[in-house]
Structure 1
Amino acid sequence: MTKPVPLSEDGTAPEERAIQTTAALEGDGADIAQARHLAARFLARVQAEQGLPVSRRAVDLTQLVVSELVTNARKYAPGPVLLDLRIVDGMVEVKVWDSEPVLPVARAADAGRVGQHGLEIVMAVAQGFEVRRGPVGKRITVRIALLDDPGGAVAGRNSL
């Protein structure tokens, strides 16, 4: 007879629970720096406590993506922003919720345009990108590989 596995409050077995951290950002001038530091600390914890390898490139790209998404949320959406980081299938998944229901659209490439390249950058470095409208606002989800391709190639973007 097998012994039942105790479930957590969310109904998952301990080994099924995601490695994650979540932060509510309230809108002061330190949000972007706070979010970048949270991302770096989270990935350092993933390495130290979980023994998962994380490349320097993954840390840098995660901080870049977090910075761009939080900047856009602060710029275009009133109210707080929720940042969620978790490890899923060898990737760091970055989710940013904000109160603005309008979905962002990457603009056409224009080398002469100053600024407003954030979404283009995020889409270029991510292995997965998704935007969903919610009951209030929207959620942007980006996935970044924890490890570099051994051949040095950067994986292309896939839908989530």
Structure 2
Amino acid sequence: MEAFSVGEDSAVPDEQAFQATVALEGDGTCIARARHLAAHFLTRVQAEHGLPVSQRAMDLTQLVVSELVTNALKYAPGPVLLDLRITGEAVEVAVWDGDPVLPVARAADAARVGQHGLEIVMAVAQGFEAQREPVGKRITARIALLDDPDGTIPGQRTL
């Protein structure tokens, strides 16, 4: 079962914050669905609230969502909770799962096949945090909304 909503977070007094949360079961389509929900969330925030989101930020957010949800489904029992939140000029991607063991990034090894997800997330995110929760853990990555080397912002008008 999934719940998806975008709404204003009244807990942030001087800036608008928008959030979407979805519970994902471990079926074969949930990783693709999580990526789609992330893209939909950023598109809605951009279209409905006028926040600029670069194409690079859109792509990186989907990549981070994919890697974090994949890891949670692979290593933790039960459902996964995906939380997307706009804070300031960034999107925070948080994934909760029921396993309390915190992930550890491995040393870089070009010969290793697979298990590079955490390295990828840490390389593209402006911030990364792993914390234990009363049940399980929460992994959070922060991605700048305007993180685009070319300066292109989808929907931006040129003068």
TM-score, normalised via structure 2 length: 0.84
One-letter identity of the residue aligned with 2:135: V
**Alignment correspondent of 1:105:** 104
Change beyond 3 A, Cα 1:13–1:145:
closer
* CA deviations over 1:90-113 (Å, ceiling 9, x no partner): 000000000011000000000000
Deviation for aligned residue 1:27: 1.4
* Distance in structure 2 (CA, Å) of the matches to 1:127 and 1:90: 11
One-letter identity of the residue aligned with 1:21: A
Between Structure 1 and Structure 2, whose CA radius of gyration is higher? Answer: 1
Tell me, yes or no, if the aligned pair for 2:56 and 2:148 is still in contact at 8 Å: no
One-letter identity of the residue aligned with 2:37: L
Q: Considering only aligned residues, what root-mean-square deviation do their CA atoms show, in Å?
A: 1.9
Change beyond 3 A, Cα 1:148–1:30:
same
* Distance in structure 1 (CA, Å) of the matches to 2:61 and 2:10: 29
**Alignment correspondent of 2:143:** 144
**Alignment correspondent of 1:39:** 38
Deviation for aligned residue 1:17: 5.4
Which deviates more from structure 2 when the two are superposed, residues 136-145 or residues 15-24? Answer: 15-24
How many residues are treated as equivalent by the alignment? 143
**Alignment correspondent of 1:23:** 22
Deviation for aligned residue 1:26: 1.4
Deviating 4+ runs (over 4 angstroms)? 13-17, 149-152
Deviation for aligned residue 1:15: 6.5
* Distance in structure 2 (CA, Å) of the matches to 1:32 and 1:136: 22
Structure 1: which 5+ runs fail to align?
1-9, 153-160
One-letter identity of the residue aligned with 2:31: I
One-letter identity of the residue aligned with 1:32: I
- Secondary structure of 2:96's counterpart equals strand
Structure 2: which 5+ runs fail to align?
1-8, 152-159
Percent identical among aligned pairs is 79
